[in-house]
Amino acid sequence: MLIKVSVFMRLMISLFIISNSIVISQDSLVNAQIDLTQSERDLLSRGEIIVRDVSSNHDEGKTIEAVGLINANIDEVYYVLLRFEDYPDFMPNITQLEILDKSSNHAILNYTLELPLKKIKKYRLDMFYQKNENAAQLTWEMIDWPGLKETETINNTTGYWLIKNYPEKKGHILVLYHVYTDPGPIPLGLGWIVDILTYNSAPTIIINTRERVYSISN
Backbone angles phi, psi at 2, to 5 degrees: -105, 130
| pLDDT score of 19 more than 80 | no
Q: Provide the pLDDT confidence category of residue 5 given band limits of 50, 70 and 90.
A: very low
- pLDDT for the residue 47: 93
What domains appear along the chain, each with residue ranges and CATH number? 9-217 (3.30.530.20)
DSSP 4-44: ---TTEE--S-EEEETTEEEE-HHHHHT-EE---HHHHHHH
In this structure, are residues 49 and 177 in contact, taking their beta carbons and an 8 Å threshold?
A: no
Three-state secondary structure of 81-135: HHCHHHHHHHCCCEEEEEEEEECCCEEEEEEEEEEHHHEEEEEEEEEEEEECCCE
Q: What is the mean pLDDT of residues 162-178?
A: 94
Output 116 or 68, whichever has higher pLDDT. 68
pLDDT digit string (tens) for 65-82?
999 999 999 999 999 999
Output 92 or 58, whichever has higher pLDDT. 92
| pLDDT score of 7 more than 80 | no
Average per-residue pLDDT for the chain: 83
- pLDDT for the residue 17: 32
In this structure, are residues 67 and 175 in contact, taking their beta carbons and an 8 Å threshold?
A: yes
Q: What is the mean pLDDT of residues 103-116?
A: 93
